[in-house]
Amino acid sequence: MPITVTDRDVLLVVDVQNDFCSGGTLAVPRGDEVVDVINRIAPLFRHAVLTQDWHPKGHHSFASSHPGKAAFETIQTPEGEQTLWPDHCVQHSFGALFHPKLDVTSVELILRKGFRPAIDSYSAFQENDRETRTGLTGYLKERGLERIFVAGLAYDYCVRFSAVDGKHAGFESFVIEDACRAINRDGSVEATRRDFDTNGVHTIHSGDLRAGVSQLRL
Ligand code: VGL
Ligand code: ZN
């Protein structure tokens, strides 16, 4: 299904950070492979936003903050179930930096998330309490942007919740599947596909994207 990119579209690049890439503390299998795909499609977009997972030391989502718990176990919190992760994307650490080869010149906003010590934030739009907003809806609306094209890491966590919440915030939402890689735990990829289906999130391939006339930069 060819899709022509317009000036009202935004590329939303989720968490392409060292800790989610090879050698990182929460490395997503073949996570680095998204970089080339994203670099290839980025010039089609007039607008891009990057998200950056940005946790304080001792963040509640870290297994190390819960004595006796191991990474990938789950705990109950007031916000519901929380998967515990290895320490990752600690503010100002190397792991929190973007992959050095990520090259998206059209980036207009870097949105940090997950900085509140006791709440995790998978989605670029709201934190996991499903109440605290990040401000991204307001930003995109004020900028007149109408469709989001989501890429990055991890497909079954931050990409998933960003794409679904973006749709609920009133944007037409597309996930560029070959520009994402998944953590893939306990059926999370299948659950993600069902979630996209149920919520009307489109799944596309990078090869579906076509340059619009207004993207041609002289
Ligand atoms: C993510 C787990 C914890 C992600 C972030 O970017 O998908 N996953 N923090
Ligand atoms: Zn995180």
Q: Is the Cβ atom of 124 under 6 angstroms away from ligand 1?
A: no
Nearest CA to ligand 1 atom 1: 158
What would the pLDDT profile of 62-113 be if each residue is shown by its tens digit?
999 999 999 999 999 888 889 999 999 999 999 999 999 999 888 999 999 9
Q: Is residue 171 in contact with ligand 1, taking CB distance under 6 Å? A: no
Candidates 113, 122, 42; CA nearest to 81 is 122
Q: Is the pLDDT of residue 130 over 70?
A: yes
Instruction: Provide the pLDDT confidence category of residue 26 given band limits of 50, 70 and 90.
Output: very high
Mean pLDDT of the chain: 96
Distance from residue 198's CA to the centre of ligand 2 (Å): 25
Which-ligand-closest: CA of 161?
1
By most ligand atoms within 8 Å of CB, the mutation choice from 14, 26, 87, 175 for ligand 1 is 26
Percentage, residues of the chain above pLDDT 90? 93
Domains plus CATH for the chain?
3-56+87-215 (3.40.50.850)
Supply the pTM of this predicted model. 0.96
- CA–CA distance from 118 to each of 65, 78, 111, 121, 129 (Å)? 11, 10, 19, 10, 10
What 8-state DSSP symbol labels residue 166? H
DSSP character for 184?
-
